[in-house]
Amino acid sequence: MAEKYRVALIGVGGMGIAYYHANCFVADERAELVACCDINREAVDKFGDQFDIADRHEDADTMLASVSADVVVIGANETAHAPLTILAARHAPKAILCEKPMAMNLGEADAMIAACEETGTQLFIGHQRRYNTQYAIAKERLDAGAVGDLTQIIARGHPGSSLMVDGTHTVDLIRFYADDDPIEWVMAQVESTTGRVGWGHVLEDATLSTFKFRSGVRALLTTGGHTASAEESLGDAEGTNYHRITLLGSQGYIEIYGDGVLEGQPFVRIVSSHAGVEELPGGGWHNGLSPQSALLDTLEDGSPHLLRAESARATLEVLMAVYESAKLGQVIPLPLDNPENPLEEMLADA
């Protein structure tokens, strides 16, 4: 293409996720960063200086009205994902890449999808681990029959975080390994006694959930349990307990050792009843094919993309069903018909 895709970023402070997105787009010669925005002027200037962006704003609507962006990246706090996506869609960019989780409830997610459909904007959500090396390798080997037919998935989310903040990645990976098969029901327990708050909303302390896919595959997931502050909990963000996933098959199992491993430890270990033991390399959460470059491929030639909004909504539905199950004390069949956030409802009633 003669002209580059113009990328504008909203929410460039906080934990710094916008820097990850910016670096990925900068690495692709088809893109250029044209504007950035944050309510914190110091954060805007720091980001703009690093990426040589002259067009800097503290108001997203003003920025989008002036820059004619092809791609809008939203890296703001989770409670702002829906309103900022809907706002950005009104300016009709070709694509919006919004951070995870997609929204705070299903009602917001549906409004985001509807707003983008109205203007022909493609919406993607940042569950980028589907593209990361170790998770992608494990999926390739699973699909190739390395351990036979998938029967069960056992997963551990971030030990110090929450279902919404980091568990959304783990649930999305579980769905990824199950070929995004529809989930029939969810059953869960949620512990929330400390009143932790982070990223603009309440964080529960721990969750334990199980769910069944239509194919018969069952999943077991734990998140949280280490109730440090939101800041302290980030210490294990690249540890072996973060997204540690076991894929049980009819002829063996695949062990994925999370975002980071100890020295000398493989990222993926395959134990097969017919092929023995195989250990494979991987990388951190930023390693592997860039979903940002894949997004540009999609815009250019319609290539499939793994981070479509419809898939992210299905992941969000599982998160909401976990909370709904804990709130009602029963198995929750899907689809879920509650457009609100059941955790917020449960805590309000407590």
Q: Residue 349's pLDDT is what?
A: 83
What is the side-by-side order of every strand in the sheet holding 252-257?
276-280, 268-272, 252-257, 244-249, 150-156, 218-224, 206-213, 183-191, 332-333
pLDDT per residue rounded down to tens, the chain (350 residues): 568 999 999 999 987 899 999 999 999 999 999 999 999 999 999 999 999 999 999 999 999 999 999 999 999 999 999 999 999 999 999 999 999 999 999 999 999 999 999 999 999 999 999 999 899 999 999 999 999 999 999 999 887 789 999 999 999 999 999 999 999 999 999 998 887 776 678 889 999 999 999 999 999 999 987 654 444 444 444 456 678 999 999 999 999 988 877 777 788 999 999 999 999 876 665 666 799 999 999 999 999 999 999 999 999 999 999 999 999 999 999 999 999 999 999 988 87
Q: Residue 15's pLDDT is what?
A: 77
What is the Cα–Cα distance from 28 to 40, expressed in whole angstroms? 28
Every domain of the chain with CATH number 3.30.360.10 lies at 132-285+316-344
Q: Residue 71's pLDDT is what?
A: 99
Is the peptide bond prior to 335 cis by the omega test (within 30 degrees of 0)? yes
Please report, for residues 79, 183, 241, 312, the alpha-carbon distance to residue 329 in angstroms, rounded to integers and kept in the order given: 27, 19, 28, 25
pLDDT in tens, 253-272: 999 988 877 777 788 999 99
* Residue spans of alpha helices (H) in 10-132: 17-26, 41-51, 60-67, 81-90, 106-119
CATH 1.10.15.40 corresponds to the domain 132-285+316-344? no
Q: What is the pTM of this model?
A: 0.94
Every domain of the chain with CATH number 3.40.50.720 lies at 5-125
134: Cβ contacts below 8 Å, ≥ 6 apart: 256, 257, 267, 268, 280, 281, 282, 283, 287
Going by C-alpha positions, the residue among 227, 231, 246, 199 that lies closest to residue 100 is: 199
Joined tokens for residue 173: 């990976």
Q: Residue 195's pLDDT is what?
A: 77
Answer for the pair 295, 311: CB distance below 8 angstroms, yes or no: no
CA 335 to chain centre: 20
- Give the count of beta carbons closer than 10 Å to the beta carbon of residue 316: 26
- The CATH number corresponding to 5-125 among 3.40.50.1820, 3.90.226.30, 3.60.21.70, 3.40.50.720 equals 3.40.50.720
